[in-house]
Amino acid sequence: MTRDDIQSIVLNIIAEIAPDEDLSDVAPNVRLRDQLDLDSMDFLDIVMELRKQHGIEVPESDYQELASLDSCANYLEPKFAALQGSN
Distance CA 19, CA 30 (A): 20
pLDDT given at position 41: 94
Domain count, the chain: 1
**60: domain CATH number?**
1.10.1200.10
**Looking at residue 40, what DSSP letter applies?**
H
Give residue 43's domain range: 3-85
pLDDT given at position 65: 95
Tens digits of pLDDT across the chain (87 residues): 899 999 999 999 999 999 999 999 999 999 999 999 999 999 999 999 999 999 999 999 999 999 999 999 999 999 999 988 876
pLDDT given at position 48: 97
pLDDT given at position 85: 81
Please choose, from the candidates 1, 12, 18, 19, the residue with its C-alpha nearest in 3D space to the C-alpha of residue 69.
12
